């Protein structure tokens, strides 16, 4: 930690100058006789961590040790060792976990993409056995950054841990109203279904495909929506939802309007044709010709950067179904 840290204060009373800490022997960091890269720690940083090492060696678990941990984490909130030792102290003192939740909320507010602070919150909430604050808290964090991976991960943990899935689909719908292209929201919506399997049914799959179609009308070129649709169809044993989505896709494709250049629409139609060939559905020659046409257009016009991939797909199709392949 360099002396330029925003958290450091020149008039901060050093632990070595505090009479109440005279009983603790500070321990200097040992980087060996010939450190490869000697970090230019500030005087305050060295002071705090020298005393932190001192209390760890003597295994002191006290209120003043908790405060020392706060000082150490203010200087470096990513220090896992300090968080781990702080949890040991909290357990030993049987501390008020709500106060700790308030503290960690403040820290996360300042460092929302720090893995260690989110892990600490997860452990504390698990000890507390109450996840009622986690959805409101993560929603607040996601308002600041709707793609914060750590906030989404924590929310999904809390939902699974405390079985709090009610209203979660509505939550995703609100976020998709703000940004239909937010892949994190689509991933979370699918997580809700895959985690609460008792809620999944063909009726729900049909409803979700209707939902997907409304979003595709807004963002036909957004891969996240297409991936979500594919995931829903994989969990559905009814042909209705897939037929509905295919009709939507064919209508756009045949009109040749804004779907003409949607590589995801092309991919979906082509892959579906190949699936039909594999399953013996429909005329194989017609399906093969159609799939080849779409893959070729992707390679030559609409997804040229992956032309080699699409040409490989065509060759593979030719290899597997040589009799029906039409150049």
113 part of the active site: yes
- Distance between CA 180 and CA 219 in Å, rounded? 7
C-alpha separations of 196 from 158, 225, 228 in Å? 13, 20, 16
Three-state secondary structure readout of 129-149: CCCCCHHHHHHHHHHHCCCCH
Which of 22, 113, 147, 255 is flagged as catalytic?
113
Region class of 273: left (phi > 0), else alpha (psi between -120 and 50), else beta: alpha
- Distance between CA 314 and CA 303 in Å, rounded? 14
In terms of Cα–Cα distance, which of 121, 92, 93, 94 is closest to 106? 121
- Angle (CA) 290 236 238, round 5°: 75
Q: Helices 307-320 and 284-297 sit at what angle, rounded to 10 degrees?
A: 160
Contacts of 196 (CB under 8 A, 6+ apart): 165
Residue 249's φ and ψ, nearest 5 degrees, are: -70, -45
- Distance between CA 80 and CA 323 in Å, rounded? 62
- Distance between CA 325 and CA 68 in Å, rounded? 73
Per-residue tokens: 306: 């992956």
Q: Which residues are known to be catalytic?
A: 113
């Amino acid at each position: 930690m360099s002396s330029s840290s925003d958290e450091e204060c020149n008039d901060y009373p050093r632990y070595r100058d505090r009479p109440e800490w005279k009983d603790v022997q500070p321990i200097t960091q040992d980087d060996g006789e010939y450190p490869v890269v000697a970090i230019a720690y500030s005087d305050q940083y060295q002071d705090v961590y020298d005393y932190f090492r001192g209390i760890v060696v003597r295994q002191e678990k006290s209120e003043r040790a908790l405060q020392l941990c706060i000082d150490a984490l203010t200087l470096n909130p990513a220090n896992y060792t300090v968080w781990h030792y702080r949890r040991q102290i909290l357990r030993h003192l049987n501390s008020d976990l709500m106060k700790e939740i308030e503290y960690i909320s403040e820290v996360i507010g300042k460092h929302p993409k720090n893995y260690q602070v989110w892990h600490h919150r997860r452990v504390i909430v698990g000890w507390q056995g109450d996840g009622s604050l986690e959805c409101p808290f993560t929603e607040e964090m996601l308002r600041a950054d709707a793609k914060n991976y750590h906030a989404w991960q924590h929310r999904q943990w809390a939902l699974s841990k405390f079985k709090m899935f009610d209203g979660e689909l509505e939550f995703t719908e609100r976020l998709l109203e703000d940004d239909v292209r937010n892949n994190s929201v689509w991933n979370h919506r699918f997580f809700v279904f895959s985690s609460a399997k008792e809620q999944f049914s063909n009726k729900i799959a049909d409803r979700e495909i209707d939902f997907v179609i409304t979003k595709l009308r807004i963002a036909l070129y957004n891969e996240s929506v297409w991936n979500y649709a594919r995931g829903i169809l994989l969990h559905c044993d009814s042909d209705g939802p897939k037929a509905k989505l295919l009709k939507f896709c064919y209508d756009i494709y045949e009109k040749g309007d804004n779907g003409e250049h949607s590589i995801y629409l092309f991919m979906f139609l082509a892959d579906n044709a190949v699936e039909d060939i594999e399953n013996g559905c429909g005329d194989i020659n017609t399906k093969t010709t159609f799939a080849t046409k779409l893959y070729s257009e992707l390679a030559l016009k609409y997804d040229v950067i992956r032309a080699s991939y699409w040409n490989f797909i065509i060759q593979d199709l030719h290899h597997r179904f040589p009799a029906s392949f039409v150049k």
